[in-house]
Structure 1
Amino acid sequence: MEFQNNTLYQIELSERLRTFLLLSGVQNEYNISHTLSHFFQNTNITYQWEKDWPIWIEYIKANNISTESPLPFPDRAWQFGSMVPKDSDWKMEPIKSKESIISSFKPIFILVSIFTWTALYYLIIFRLL
Structure 2
Amino acid sequence: MSAHGSSNNRPTLAPWQVSLATRTMSGQLAEPISIAEIAHLCRLSLSYFVRAFSNAVGIAPYAWFVQQRISRAKRLLTGTSLPLAQIALECGFSDQAHFTNAFVKATETTPARWRREALAHRQAA
Relative to its length, the structure with more helix (as a share) is 2
Using structure 1 for the length normalisation, give the TM-score. Answer: 0.28
